[in-house]
Amino acid sequence: MDDLRKKARELLEASAVKVVIGYEQGTAGKTRALFAENPDDTDKLIFDSRCNLNLAAYVTKTEVKNKGKMAITATLPVMRSIIQLASESQVSDNNLVVLGITPESKLVEFGKITEVETFVHQYQIEIETTYREKLEKLNKMTPSERWQFWIDEFTPCFKCYACRAACPMCYCGRCTVDFNQPQWIPVPSHQLGNLEWHIMRAVHLTGRCIDCDACYNACPLGIPLNLLTKKMIEDVKTNFGGYQPSLNGGHLMSTYKPDDKENFIQ
């Protein structure tokens, strides 16, 4: 990825941006986020198949934003996240430069976020076959079996909120789970607290999740919580047509159509 290093160096040398967010070699054979603030740091930039962290999670963090204008190494899921964040007024051309990486690992430069949108819209969000089979298997279970499945899956959760920290869409300064007046979600990680936390997370990501799996990759216990968001993506498709993050499409869950179809309201 010499192109990427070269471009990052150029941007920093010209003071076009104050920080370049990318990946560097971490410990235990893993990669981690790199925040390059001087041109020589860019030598550490790497990009390979291990880079599955969604870097868009950093662009809304105050510590990073305060550095000044940012450039971000953006794979397809990261670009999708950026479009969603831009549509929610969290990032704009004024504070972000996107260094896109195509699915073929080629560097692609964008002048404006609208160009990123055009690029991203060439690729539909598709649930992988393995996950689709898992969803299908769960759909075929009886409600009681599904209930037991999820209670068992959620039991090890100790509410570290790594899923929330890894998610680019979870940028609220004060998350509902942190509220204690009223205490929406019980603090202890008992069965009820865990269930309500995961319900809340899934509902808040409905129509916003771009299916990057960052939450699942971040979970230290491997809880398949991305199944919930994938299910929501599938259902959004069934009920309201396809879904793509877009700059002026309106937000799926804050808009409506007078002829939205359902079959359960009496």
The site for other proteins (CB under 8 A) is made up of 138-139, 141, 143-151, 176, 184-185, 188, 190-192, 195-196, 199-200, 202-203, 206-207, 228, 231-232, 235-236, 239-240, 253-258, 260, 262, 264-266
Amino acid at 222: G
Q: For residues 123 and 158, which CB has a smaller minimum distance to other proteins in the complex?
A: 158
Please provide residue 236's backbone torsions phi and psi, each rounded to the nearest 5 degrees.
-60, -40
Q: What spatial distance separates the first Cα and last Cα of the chain, rounded to whole Å? A: 58
List strands edge to edge, sheet with 107-109.
Answer: 31-36, 19-25, 70-74, 96-101, 107-109
Please provide residue 149's backbone torsions phi and psi, each rounded to the nearest 5 degrees.
-55, -50
Q: For residues 123 and 179, which CB has a smaller minimum distance to other proteins in the complex?
A: 179
Closest separation between CB of residue 45 and other proteins, Å?
Answer: 39
Closest separation between CB of residue 232 and other proteins, Å?
Answer: 7
Separation of alpha carbons 52 and 56, rounded Å: 11
Q: For residues 16 and 141, which CB has a smaller minimum distance to other proteins in the complex?
A: 141
Closest separation between CB of residue 235 and other proteins, Å?
Answer: 5
- Residue 15 region by backbone torsions, left for phi larger than 0, else alpha for psi between -120 and 50, else beta: left
Closest separation between CB of residue 207 and other proteins, Å?
Answer: 8
For residue 201, count CB atoms less than 10 angstroms from its CB and return exposed for 0-12, middle for 13-18, buried for 19 or more: buried
Closest separation between CB of residue 54 and other proteins, Å?
Answer: 22
Q: For residues 33 and 252, which CB has a smaller minimum distance to other proteins in the complex?
A: 252
Q: For residues 67 and 146, which CB has a smaller minimum distance to other proteins in the complex?
A: 146
Closest separation between CB of residue 139 and other proteins, Å?
Answer: 8
* DSSP sequence for 10-63: HHHHTTS-SEEEEEEE-STT-EEEEEE-SGGGGGG-B-STT--S-GGGGTT-HH
Residues counted in the chain: 266
Q: For residues 10 and 235, which CB has a smaller minimum distance to other proteins in the complex?
A: 235
